[in-house]
Amino acid sequence: MNLMKPFLCVLLVSGLTHAGRAETPNVLFLAVDDMNDWLGCLETTPRAITPNIDRLAARGINFTNAHTAGVFCAPSRAAIFSGQFASTTGCYRTATYFYDHPQIEPLQLSFAKGGYETFGAGKLFHHPAGAIDQRGWTEFFLRSQSQRESGWPLDSWSDETPFPDPFPNSIYNRGQEITGGLFLEWGAIPNGREEEMADTQRINWAVEKLQQKREKPFFLAVGIYAPHFPNYCPQKYFDMYDVDDIQHPPYKADDLDDLPPKIKKSKTARSRIHKKLEGLNAIEDAIHGYLACMSYADAMMGRVLDALEASPHADNTIVVLWSDHGYHHGEKGDWGKHTLWERTSNVPFLWAGPGVAEDVKTDLTVSLIDMYPTFLEMCELPQPHQQLEGESIAATLATPSSADDRSVYLPHMNPGEYAIINRDWRYIRYGEDGEELYDVQVDPNEWTNLASNPEHETLKSQMRALAPMTFAEPGTKLNLRKNLVIDGETFRWEVK
């Protein structure tokens, strides 16, 4: 593989020059949050109305079997930007790899060292104060001066942003004690206040950046909070759907019965959310809110894609769109993420631009952690200090028909817990607490755990061998009040 990299780079650069483009491609890095695979271009049930993401898919490659690098926001984003899994960094539940491992060079720093201008906005890292890796950015957009002076929290829902009236709004919370904050809240805001939304402001900033001429190549990364809960968005996106026509995903009443005992107990407790929604006859309403916010997210992505198409950079910009993880809506009794099952791991993952084949849908197995090494190859960036743990998919992007499938690794929230995934099988191990095995071609809903079948002992052994031999201890627990030091418009973590 290493011997092939220079050759592949020559081919890519040669192709760009032949097409009249600059030799060094720009990168537009688009992130959405909690978005599962209910895209129009993935033909799922339910299915969101996503015309802008669909046209991006038609321009490039749509990976239908792409998987996250962490089972919720913080570890997924830490893995993407560090190029290393939680089993190496210890970021099983945290995002601050840059505290425990300051030698790690984040993705944007590699771009900066490669001669790029680097621009960032919105939810690229985790959203609390202190979670953004500040290194390597030419400019990072925040909506207010107060955010810069308080550790760069995103504050996507704050006093300046619109809320539904009444608030709380959803049937889940109506007339009841609110115990989950904004969790599972949904509701419409007035259409006329769309420009006041935090995500809209971030997108508009990115549009302005694309409209500007530049002497140097750029890495423009913008992440939006949608469709992360609370599912608030303008009324017009709710109006795109008839709640009476919304179908819920497939459920199985005894789905948890064949899980390892400890996992069954915890997931049975978790299923109380689904049972409550069933009791309120609110499942379709909750899905309605999520679908509406998927369509809002799609409209925001459309603004950026339109701006790119109209810009001087249209022909020389690699576009990648990704979601940090998927989301359960009652499948396996769960609402949310944090699992090693398909609903959490499978994510939208689309590429387009120079060096990328057009209008291809493929079920080749890939991981979000593959982005960092892929950019190193396609953009000829310097190798960072740390060893990257993904694989470059540059050759796959160029000629997907010639690529072989592979297995990818996904760590869970504790050392020794993980999944190994390919297009045929999903193997899950919970340390000493049990295991699961699914034949995903036969059983795409993962309803039948085959781990106890002696016929599969060899397969399980082979898949276990793909996991790390050792697992890092969990990273340092940092306390927002005690350890975050604000220094003017920047911040740092200190543990005394």
C-alpha 414/C-alpha 463 separation (Å) is 19
pLDDT tens-digit readout, 312-324 = 999 999 999 999 9
pLDDT tens-digit readout, 467-490 = 999 999 999 999 999 999 999 999
What burial letters (b/e) apply to 221-233, b meaning 16+ CB within 10 Å? bbbbbbbbbbbbb
- What is residue 17's predicted lDDT score, i.e. its pLDDT? 35
Q: At residue 346, what is the residue type?
A: N
CATH number of the domain that residue 198 is part of: 3.40.720.10
- What is residue 180's predicted lDDT score, i.e. its pLDDT? 58
Q: Is residue 5 part of a domain?
A: no
Compute the residue count for the chain: 496
CB 133 within 8 A of CB 98: yes
CB 72 within 8 A of CB 400: no
Q: Is residue 415 part of a domain?
A: no
Six token digits for residue 468: 């790390």
Six token digits for residue 249: 């995903």
Burial class (CB in 10 A: 0-12, 13-18, 19+), 337: buried
Pairing of β 26-32 and β 218-223: parallel
- What is residue 172's predicted lDDT score, i.e. its pLDDT? 73
Residue 197: alpha-carbon gap to chain centroid:
21
Six token digits for residue 235: 């009324």
Six token digits for residue 359: 């209008």
Q: Is residue 155 part of a domain?
A: yes
- How many CB atoms neighbour CB 458 within 10 A? 9
Pairing of β 186-189 and β 117-122: unpaired
Number of domains in the chain: 1
Comparing CA positions, the residue from 15, 18, 17, 22 lying closest to residue 312 is 22
- What is residue 179's predicted lDDT score, i.e. its pLDDT? 56
CB 85 within 8 A of CB 461: no
Q: Is residue 14 part of a domain?
A: no
- Sign of the C-alpha dihedral computed for residues 184, 190, 195 and 196 taken in this order: negative
Cis-peptide into 234, omega within 30 deg: no
Q: At residue 494, what is the residue type?
A: E
Q: Is residue 419 part of a domain?
A: no
What does the radius of gyration of the chain's CA atoms come to, in whole angstroms?
Answer: 22
So which residues are the catalytic ones?
Answer: 73, 126
Q: At residue 252, what is the residue type?
A: K
Residue 276: alpha-carbon gap to chain centroid:
28
- What is residue 171's predicted lDDT score, i.e. its pLDDT? 77
- What is residue 15's predicted lDDT score, i.e. its pLDDT? 40
- Main-chain dihedrals φ then ψ at residue 110, nearest 5 degrees: -60, -40
Domain range spanning residue 319?
23-398
Q: Is residue 422 part of a domain?
A: no
Q: Is residue 489 part of a domain?
A: no
The list of the chain residues with pLDDT below 70 reads 1-22, 175-182
Q: Is residue 46 part of a domain?
A: yes
